Structure 1
Amino acid sequence: MDAYFPIGIVFGIPNDGQVASAFNTDPAEAIEFFKAVFGWTIVFPISGIFAILGAYCFTFKFKLGWSSNKFLIFVLVTSIAISVGAFKPIHEGYKHTVTALKGISELKKAESIQSKWQIKTAHPTKQIYVLVIGESARRDYMHAYGYPISNTPFMESKGTLIEGAVSADDYTIPSIQKMLTLSKAANHSKDNANLEYNVIDAANLAGFETYWFSNQGKINKKDTPITVIANRARHKQWLKESMDRSEKVSDSQLIPLLKKAVKSDDSGNSPKLIVLHLMGSHSAVCERLIEQPLLGAVKNQYFQDPLCYVSSIKQTDGLLEKIDQILTDSGKTYSVVYLSDHGVSHNEIQGKIVMNHASPASKHRSIPLYKFEDGEANLQKIKARKFMFNLTEGILYWLGIDTKQVSNPRDLFSGEDQKDERNELEKLSGRRLDPYIDIRGK
């Protein structure tokens, strides 16, 4: 427990997302993780070790034998203190590790998975569909959603903006696997990835030419449910593979891949589904600003990370504008959906505010959901609660695909509130309040 204490102080009790991420991290992310964790918190485990040694010396000096009442009281009090503080993290860590290992074992069979989608009809209305999966972007830090600094000029120029999207999880791997697969249970009570019903297979079977381009890391074909789904695409490429994924690469390097896919005649007259998976506003966010300059400066370095975060939103907004320009220049009809896998929370680490996944708070799962298409000239804002557990259904509607499993998919961009089938709002209401920080004047 002494070893886990620094991690627990920053990230809290272990959960599925943390454990899954731990099994699928890379050298760069591991370094970022330890930088965040081992600051002043290392004092406590070191103190604990010295306390144990001191207790041993104390009992030896005063000859407190096993039969001594004083020794028994000391052991009893110490045991109670340790059990109260340590049992839950140990139990939760064990439980979620077992779950993660089971998931990894199932992924070894990934290549033999057969799709179970039964396509009824497919009537796409566009030639090109682009799904942009952002990283760690929470919507209240976007000017389009009310943040006081202008960092989303493109998102405010046209399209449809949903105010009320809730991510499927707090962490990338469980969130995306839930977003891009249909739930195993009709009542949505199970969270496991249902790889037999993933969106890429549905598009393939419906006659789409499918592409997956990623700026996130990949070790092999089945290291996470995300790479398993991605590998179902007919064309796929990762900017960072194996140990190379530790390199810092701009999301803009996905643009040449998009251009090539748009111009390609591989599909003939078939519609195309192109997925772009970004690094976006991932933690250690100041290091993500490869091309985008900071939007100003802060007087107090305590707020440097929020400044970088606000600026990273502008960087992603610029990428969306480039995507729009490429598609417009192609002369083809198109539709683009952008959303984030999850948000972040404010946490004070080593004397500074840090935007990361530690101790997820009230806004951690408040994400942007945005669509833009050819021929649009105005922005429409819609206030409607949308849960990303239902994203697969929404994608089927977007692509014009009807299946036996989802015969009448619902429009993700309608004004209708989706039913909170998993009581997500109740869970989030119990979290600490975590409003955005206005960095002006800081």
Structure 2
Amino acid sequence: MEPTIKIALVGAGMFGGDVHARAYADLQRFGIAGQLARVGLDKYSRELAGVKFDLVAVATRSEKSARKAAAAFKDITGHEPQAFHGDEPWNDILAAFPDLDVMAVATPDHLHTQPILAALARGVHVLTEKPMCLSIQESDEIIEAAKAKNLIVAVDMHKRYDPDHLRIRDDIQNRIGAPLYGTAYLEEPLEVSTSTFKWVESSDPFSYVGPHWTDLIWSYYKSKPVSLTAVGQKKRLVRDGINAFDAVQVRVDFDNGMSINFHNNWVTPADFEGPVNQGHEIVGADGKVESDQQYRGFRWWNQGGGSRTSNNHFTREVLRPDGSKGYIGYGVDSLTVGLVAICRVKFAKESRDAVAELYPTAEEARITCAIVDAAARVRDLNWKYMQEGKGATVTARFGKDGITVIDPNSSEVFQSIYDKAL
């Protein structure tokens, strides 16, 4: 029998229905070997060339969207995965496929933990969108469950695999010297918060896209946070009756002495020339690096279409002789490395520790979860105090004693929210 990896996709919205589904479609047809040189794992090409990948199930909240996602996958591959729907469709998938290998989780941010833990309890590996979860306590629960059964929880941190970022990590950061300070920003279009997602009141712009940048900074420097402060604004979305933050700014100080400001919003007007506005810069003791990921020099305009830009590095279609289109880019690379680690564990009987260097791990994602968790608490308190005219005076501290929120406006100034070191 052919060695096979059976995958179920939970969540087929903007990202699950596009990047995940298209990536798994190529795997379904052609396997993984052709993707490995892109991520420096081509030494596994021969041994993984014969592995078959099978998307056996796709699940969404509604029956209509689940059937639509399954049919779209069939249009590309000729294979139609079984469609599931409901509030907790992952349970039905796990019951229907006791030999499932991977559950890919692309649900809304606040709904990652349930399907992840359900999969791990059944001995199933996980590929999950960022952030892994919104709580540091939940991240510990996920890690312990994965460790107990030698399972992979790979987190889609695709910013790591942008070729510009790889150049910074492997070369430029050494040229500019010890990091002093920096800024990272990702600004999403207004339609994301007003129509694409129905769950924005359960999240915020930093929790949603900030993890891309906190993880990228981690991948550069492997430095842990020591303190942070956070503020947010509510002006645009409330006009549409949406009680959610328009924008959030978080400053994180790290144990190597650098300070990074993370700026995120989801209110960029629809007529902005790119899908998102994004970039970052880092100032070092001996230089500076700037990376504008929105405008990389590729621009066009036409009558009635305005001026447009495109990120051809994230994902792009490659025309094949048969007329079909391959789907490659750093948006796919992060999924590829997680699947390589899963293949090594399943077929080569490797331990999760032995393959940890291959992919963004749950342990690394825990750093981001801690930042997201603390930032949300600080942001909400500072929002409250700003409305009361007291200023944004709340901060958070990370140390050997865990995470402490420092609130000078409270009778309990030092509030422990986590009692373990990162």
TM > 0.5 fold call:
no
TM-score by length of 2: 0.29
Question: Relative CO higher for 1 or 2, CA cutoff 8 Å, sep ≥ 6?
Answer: 1
